[in-house]
Amino acid sequence: MTPEQIHDWWCCQDDEKRASLVDATGMFVGNPFTTPRAIFDVMLDLHGFPTGSRVYDLWVATFQVAFVGVEVDGVEVEFVEFFPDFWTAMVEFSIVEGFPCPEPCYVLKFARSHI
């Protein structure tokens, strides 16, 4: 995905999804390979995507993250893996445009007479 493609759908996302994407982008910039899943899960839960729910699973699948288990001092700890294609484009979008939503989403609507 490119920053231009993100621009095209950004305002079509609801407030909670946009807020979760902004926070996740910050996690990607700050700790692209070392964000603990527990912290990530709390962030998504606070934005209305509770762990174990279908909306959580859909968010994870749609926005290209995975979870990697690593043994730390004999204890298995899961970390978030942000797939770079999407998240690098999100960072570029945030730098160039700053996550604005100046106008509402424009969805094409067709009347029967035009079909």
| Residue 102 three-state SS | coil
For the domain spanning 3-114, the CATH number is: 1.10.10
Domain residue spans in the chain?
A: 3-114
**pLDDT tens digit string along 41-68?**
999 999 999 999 999 999 999 998 999 9
pTM over 0.95: no
- In the predicted model, what is the mean pLDDT of residues 31-47? 91
CA distances from 35 to 8, 21, 32, 67, 105 (A): 28, 15, 7, 10, 32
Number of other CB atoms surrounding residue 87 within 10 Å? 21
